[in-house]
Structure 1
Amino acid sequence: MTSALWPLQQAIYSKLSADPALGALVTGVFDEVPEGQAYPYVTIGSISEVPDDAHDRQGLEAAAVLHVWSQYRGYREAAEIFAAVDAVLDRKPLTVDGYEDVSIAHTQHQSLRDPDPEIRHINAQYRVWMTRETEV
């Protein structure tokens, strides 16, 4: 089985960073946040995958965790950013290199207080199902 970790991360990054509505709310979408990056922003967190094969096809089921980071007092800004992320991803087409029949759905999210009292954080989880492209 070939891993989809990197192609899936690239697909999520491309989709989020290309969205103008989300881009108007955040300073960026990151894998690794640059030193001194201004808030608010979105990070792509962990991605896990398990085989989800059919009789004649290789498939994967993945879980992707995204994070919204804000310094706004209260959760309003983080919640608005999460809504924009969700509008881009939940049940929307996603192109992942090497895979077809890709579907993505929001499964849960949670608002959190960071140990730094100035930071608000939303942890959002998505489930992704995909099938390995058939070789011709």
Structure 2
Amino acid sequence: MATALRPLQAAVYAKLTASPALLALVSGVYDEVPEPAPYPYVSIGSITEVPDDAHDRQGLEATIVLHVWSKSPGFAQAYDIFAALDAALDRASLAVAGFTDVSIRHDQHQALKDPEPGVRHINAQYAVRLTRDS
């Protein structure tokens, strides 16, 4: 199986950091969150992959998890950030190096109160289907 971990993360990062609407709302989009990072921000979480081969092509189904972090009272700011993130990714054209027929769609999300007082967190999952270049 040919993994898409690195190129998929790079493609998602590129798509999010190219979104003026998202960047207007957050201090940054991070793979590795610097300490201390100013709120609000988005971080890229885990990616899982499972094979999804066709008869003559290698394919993958991946799930990428993104996190919205906010310290604004209530969830309004986190919801607005998630909406901008979703507008940038859901059913968007995504160029993943080494892969074709790439599709990404919103799968699910959950709004959470973090154990750290005052922190709001949205955990958003996206399903990605990819076919390895021949």
TM bucket normalised to smaller? over 0.9
Distance 2:2 2:101 in 1: 16
* Paired position in structure 2 for 1:133: 133
Instruction: Kindly tell me the number of residue pairs found equivalent between the two proteins.
Output: 134
Q: CA RMSD in A?
A: 0.5
User: What pairs up with 1:4-15 in 2 under 5 angstroms?
Assistant: 4-15=4-15
TM-score, structure 1 normalization? 0.97
* Paired position in structure 2 for 1:51: 51
In structure 2, list runs of 5 or more residues that go unmatched: none
Alignment deviations for residues 42-78 of structure 1 (CA, whole Å, 9 cap, x no partner)? 0000000000000000000000000000000000000
Other structure's SS at 1:95 match? coil
Alignment deviations for residues 81-130 of structure 1 (CA, whole Å, 9 cap, x no partner)? 00000000000100000000000000100000101121000000000000
Counterpart amino acid of 1:42? Answer: V
* Paired position in structure 1 for 2:63: 63
Other structure's SS at 2:27 match? coil
Other structure's SS at 1:84 match? helix
Counterpart amino acid of 2:86? Answer: D
* Paired position in structure 1 for 2:42: 42
Counterpart amino acid of 1:111? Answer: A
Indicate whether 1:114 and 2:107 are aligned: no
In structure 1, list runs of 5 or more residues that go unmatched: none
TM-score, structure 2 normalization? 0.99
Counterpart amino acid of 1:7? Answer: P
Q: Percent identity?
A: 66
Counterpart amino acid of 1:54? Answer: A
